[in-house]
Amino acid sequence: MTRPEDTSKFIAYVLRHAPESIGLRLDAQGWAGIDALVAGAVAAGRVLTAAEVAQAVDSGTKKRYELSADGLRIRALQGHSTPQVNRSFEPVEPPPILFHGTATRFLASIRARGLLPGSRQHVHLSADEATAVQVGQRHGKAHVLKVEAGRMQALGHVFHRAENGVWLTAAVPPEFLLLLPPG
């Protein structure tokens, strides 16, 4: 039996990064039919049921996914790297400070270049430090950066907030990062 965490990671991989790996097509907003997701997974040799998809949507504190109003479609809320998805988010005024969790091994690059989305479409930020610590720990020894989001927005940088509370922006230049340890 597949663990729920493994199922959720598989769904995240497919919906965010590689729908083609199971022959799935996403629309521009990231939606896919649940039946198509299940059928594609099964055809690719992965056991997956509609009930497991529903459990992945409802489980965990991160709320990575959203079901359509009719319950027939699913999408990842953010974190896409696949070019076929270009979610539209309304600009939102951020709080003065947001947080970004990273591993200490990335600090030299961040100090030089700021926060970049990498293969994703946005840099992900959180409204609280505890969430940022959890995110940073996924990649090694965690370090939390404070982002002067209010000052960035005042200077023309655009922020969005995904349905699960994750804050998104195109990039964070180094001059908006606080409390970086000396290099």
Say what the pLDDT of residue 125 is: 96
Q: What is the mean pLDDT of residues 3-31?
A: 90
User: Range(s) for CATH 1.10.10.970 in the chain?
Assistant: 4-76
CA angle 175, 92, 101 (to 5 degrees): 50
| More confident call, 147 vs 28 | 147
Q: How many CB atoms lie within 10 A of CB 81?
A: 13
73 vs 41: CA distance, rounded Å = 15
Class in CATH terms, 4-76: mainly alpha
Q: Tell me what the mean pLDDT of segment 117-139 comes to.
A: 87
The CA-based angle 174-76-127, given to 5 degrees, is: 40
* pTM of this prediction exceeds 0.75: no
- The CATH T-level fold of domain 98-178 is ADP-ribosylation fold (3.20.170)
Provide the β-strand partners of residue 171: none
pLDDT at 77: 85
* CATH 3.20.170.30 residue spans of the chain: 98-178
- pLDDT digits over 93-113, tens only? 999 999 999 988 899 999 999
DSSP state of 176: G
